[in-house]
């Protein structure tokens, strides 16, 4: 399998996005170590509308992402330790090596198909219901 495990081998867990339009359950693949976070959704050709990936970090930090080797345009949702959506970078450009910054200290990043945030009405200040954010 090379240096990276295939994303299909990552743990899958339920997560709920809470917006003004309601609760939106999705299934996320969990990337919670350096190797999994480095691979992310690279080389993936498609992802379902109710699927995503969550990148969990051990403490709050300024997080940087990029789209190298990523085929799918993504919405990157930067999430604070209490589950509050800090910022959303919509429709990131596939294969781009431009750095995408969290714009502050966050605990996680959720990647969704590009356009999902708009479709769900997800915006800064909304909440994410997931065990890592429960105090």
> So what's the pLDDT on residue 8?
55
Classify residue 134: in a domain, yes or no: no
Classify residue 119: in a domain, yes or no: yes
The pLDDT of residue 7 is above 80: no
Looking at per-residue pLDDT, the higher value among 14 and 5 belongs to 14
The pLDDT of residue 2 is above 90: no
Question: How far from chain centre, in Å, is Cα 36?
Answer: 13
> So what's the pLDDT on residue 15?
98
Q: How many domains does the chain have?
A: 1
Classify residue 87: in a domain, yes or no: yes
pLDDT in tens, 73-132: 999 999 999 999 999 999 999 999 999 999 999 999 999 999 999 999 999 999 999 999
| CATH, residue 22 | 2.60.120.1140
> So what's the pLDDT on residue 59?
95
Classify residue 96: in a domain, yes or no: yes
> So what's the pLDDT on residue 108?
98
> So what's the pLDDT on residue 1?
33
Classify residue 88: in a domain, yes or no: yes
Strand order in the sheet with 12-19: 85-89, 74-79, 100-113, 51-65, 22-31, 12-19, 127-129
Classify residue 135: in a domain, yes or no: no
Residue among 88, 36, 42 at smallest CA distance from 66: 42
The pLDDT of residue 5 is above 60: no
> So what's the pLDDT on residue 9?
81
> So what's the pLDDT on residue 135?
59
Classify residue 1: in a domain, yes or no: no
- Residue range(s) defining the domain that contains residue 15: 7-129
Residue with tokens 């915006």: 123
Q: Cα–Cα distance between 9 and 94 in angstroms, integer?
A: 23
């Amino acid at each position: 399998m090379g240096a990276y495990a295939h994303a299909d081998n990552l743990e899958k867990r339920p997560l709920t996005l809470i917006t003004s339009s309601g609760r939106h359950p999705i299934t996320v693949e969990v990337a919670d170590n350096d190797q999994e976070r480095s691979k992310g959704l690279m080389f993936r050709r498609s992802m379902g509308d109710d699927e995503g990936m969550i990148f969990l970090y051990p403490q709050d930090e300024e997080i940087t992402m990029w789209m190298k080797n990523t085929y799918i345009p993504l919405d990157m949702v930067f999430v604070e330790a209490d589950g509050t959506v800090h910022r959303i970078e919509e429709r990131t450009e596939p294969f781009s090596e431009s750095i995408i910054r969290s714009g502050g200290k966050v605990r996680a990043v959720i990647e969704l198909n590009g356009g999902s945030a708009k479709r769900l009405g997800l915006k800064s200040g909304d909440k994410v219901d997931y065990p890592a954010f429960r105090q």
